[in-house]
Amino acid sequence: MNCFDYPLDPAYLLQKKRSLKRQLLEKQGLIEKKVAIMSGSTIGEIKNILELFLLENGIKPTFHEGAYALFYENLVFDDGSLKAFAPDVIYIHTSVRNIKLWPDAADEPSRVEEKLNAEYTRFEQAIRAALSFGCPVIANNFDLPVYRVMGNREGVDCHGRVRFVRQLNEKLAALAEATPNLYLNDLAYLQAVHGMDAFSSQTAWYAYKYAVSIDCIPYLCQSVANIIKSLLGKNKKALALDLDNTLWGGIIGDDGPEGIVMGNETPAGMAYAEFQSYLKELSKLGILLNVCSKNEEKIALTGFERADTVLKRDDFLCFKANWEPKSRNIAAMAQEINILPESFVFVDDNPAEREIVRQELPGVTVPELGAPEEYIAAIDRSGYFEVTTLSADDKKRASMYKQNLERAQLEQSFGDYNDYLKSLEMHCEIGAFDAPHAERITQLINKTNQFNLTTRRYTAAEVEGIMADPAYITLYGRLVDKFGDNGLVTAMIGHIQGNVLDMDLWIMSCRTFKRRLEHAMFDELVRRAAAAGVEKIVGHYYPTAKNLLVRDFYATIGFEQTAQDDQGNLTFEFTGFAGYEPQCGVMEIEIV
């Protein structure tokens, strides 16, 4: 079992943190990020455990620690140290202990409102000061106070601290919803999950000034790390799901569709139905559902014909019900869908099958499962699919991948690849970065790993800054064909330096690679670069564990390799502006 999956063993993580850190630092392909933690209470152990969770997610952090309980002063009146640190992420660790102005029983309602607005303004000022550093900011909302002077009336009366905290949380939620680059870590939810006495330990506060009990620090850090890894494009993308005793109770090959346990007639049936409902909700967010079961396909399909099954065959992208090893089926699904195996979470009630997949496909995440009523918690509280942004393209992702499978089937019927591409009746839209597309562009930048030549990441603020800077040429591309709308799937950033255009970024969803959209993008880049007086375009390839796919890409579109260093970084140059002929030729192109 992975010690970083739910349920955590806090004592083990705290005791073994040094040896775990040594092991995690041996991982390949770690990306380095600077994380500032601003203190509302003691943060030493929080920093140590957060580091472990970030390393587990492929992120090697360097930390800046704010002075004890001076989050406001350190942010609003920065002495230059935070600016010099140049954080990639700021985490403001505050809690109910940092509220200064509380309602008093003698206060008029208007005075309570003044106090509420004053407290909110103080925290908002700290948050906006953090946002001024141009990086993502994670702020806690507030846990509830550990006592209620008025009992249950605390949640109703304007003088109640419980009501006061809930109103503050509503204001913070509205701020986060309206503010790019601001993300809330839900301290109130964590407290509810673990229980007030366990989460908000009076002993830990009085003895060490920890606002969160020592045993709950790993859960806090897991929650913060989930936000950070989501921002950096390290979420999982797909589920590979067993059937028997996973999506329903019983063995469909033995019991038949009428004999499996499903629906609201029994407690076990309700647990499986709710699990299917949870998976259905994930699919609406763009998570790809796939079946990976040892079964006869024809028999397995009958399980989804029952009226009381929440999921139906059409909810699944790939349906692998056969007698092949499940590791082989997951690898095949990854290839068919065109995502990496490590994008999968494998869910199976059988511990032997789980262990085989762990051994055969180490990159695949395999959570431990308990009883059926615990399945949702095992997935949900591990944060594999943490949502930090949700675009229209995300919601359509499953249908986009289904359309891609249909395209692959069509391709097999053509002997000539160009004829196949023309048969798709493609239409692309290419334009410079703009406000309506900025969120999706930022999301694509931070989640694309395979067709990503430099693996640079940009915050929303950085993308907005580049959009407004005339020293940059930016392009995005959308692609539609007869099967459907692929959405915004590619972006590039080039920096003009004299008569040279230096390519900082070129990314594309692998769903649309080799459809000549990359050529259409380059055709337009050449046109705009020439108009800007550029005489040479310099492209870079920085190798990672995931982008070997594009190692020689620049060479295929007319660049010449000019350098290679000891780390395998390649430099390419393009000077063929004179007489340049467009390379696409298989789609209708609209320049906006």
Query: How is residue 450 written in tokens?
Result: 């395979």
- Please identify which residue in the block is written with the tokens 């040594």: 22
pLDDT in tens, 531-550: 999 999 999 999 998 899 99
pLDDT of 299 strictly over 70? yes
- 1 pLDDT band (50/70/90 cuts)? low
pLDDT in tens, 197-249: 999 999 999 999 999 999 999 999 999 999 999 999 899 999 999 999 999 99
- 362 pLDDT band (50/70/90 cuts)? very high
Res 39: pLDDT: 98
Res 413: pLDDT: 87
User: 301: exposed, middle or buried (C-beta count within 10 Å: 0-12, 13-18, 19+)?
Assistant: middle
pLDDT in tens, 150-183: 999 999 999 999 999 999 999 999 999 999 999 9
pLDDT of 516 strictly over 70? yes
Average pLDDT value for residue range 516-545: 97
- 409 pLDDT band (50/70/90 cuts)? confident
- 363 pLDDT band (50/70/90 cuts)? very high
Measured distance CA(426)–CA(403) in Å, rounded: 13
**Higher-pLDDT residue of 399, 9:** 9
Average pLDDT value for residue range 70-77: 98
Res 285: pLDDT: 94
User: 562: exposed, middle or buried (C-beta count within 10 Å: 0-12, 13-18, 19+)?
Assistant: exposed
| pTM, entire model | 0.87
Measured distance CA(166)–CA(168) in Å, rounded: 5
Helix (H) or strand (E) holding 331: helix 326-337
pLDDT of 415 strictly over 90? no
Nearest C-alpha neighbor of 505 from the set 566, 468, 547, 534: 547
Average pLDDT value for residue range 504-530: 95
Domains of the chain, each with CATH number or no CATH:
10-231 (3.40.50.1110), 238-380 (3.40.50.1000), 416-591 (3.40.630.30)
Most confident of 413-417, 482-486, 487-491: 487-491
Res 397: pLDDT: 85
- 29 pLDDT band (50/70/90 cuts)? confident
**Higher-pLDDT residue of 222, 449:** 222
Which residues is 488 bridged to in the sheet? 478
User: 61: exposed, middle or buried (C-beta count within 10 Å: 0-12, 13-18, 19+)?
Assistant: buried
In whole numbers, what is the pLDDT of the chain averaged over residues? 96
CA separation, residue 10 to residues 95, 185, 366, 417 (Å): 21, 19, 20, 55
Measured distance CA(554)–CA(562) in Å, rounded: 11
pLDDT in tens, 113-141: 999 999 999 999 999 999 999 999 999 99
| Number of alpha carbons in the 13 Å side-chain half-sphere of residue 79 | 7
Query: How is residue 235 written in tokens?
Result: 């979420």
% of residues, the chain, pLDDT over 90: 91
- Please identify which residue in the block is written with the tokens 């629906």: 263
Q: What angle do CA 52, 55, 60 make, to 5 degrees?
A: 115
pLDDT in tens, 218-229: 999 999 999 999
Average pLDDT value for residue range 10-28: 96
Measured distance CA(216)–CA(204) in Å, rounded: 11
Res 412: pLDDT: 86
CA separation, residue 152 to residues 96, 156, 162, 198 (Å): 19, 8, 9, 21
Nearest C-alpha neighbor of 315 from the set 292, 287, 346, 354: 287
Res 121: pLDDT: 98
Torsion of CA 590, 460, 382, 49, to 10 degrees: 150
Res 28: pLDDT: 87
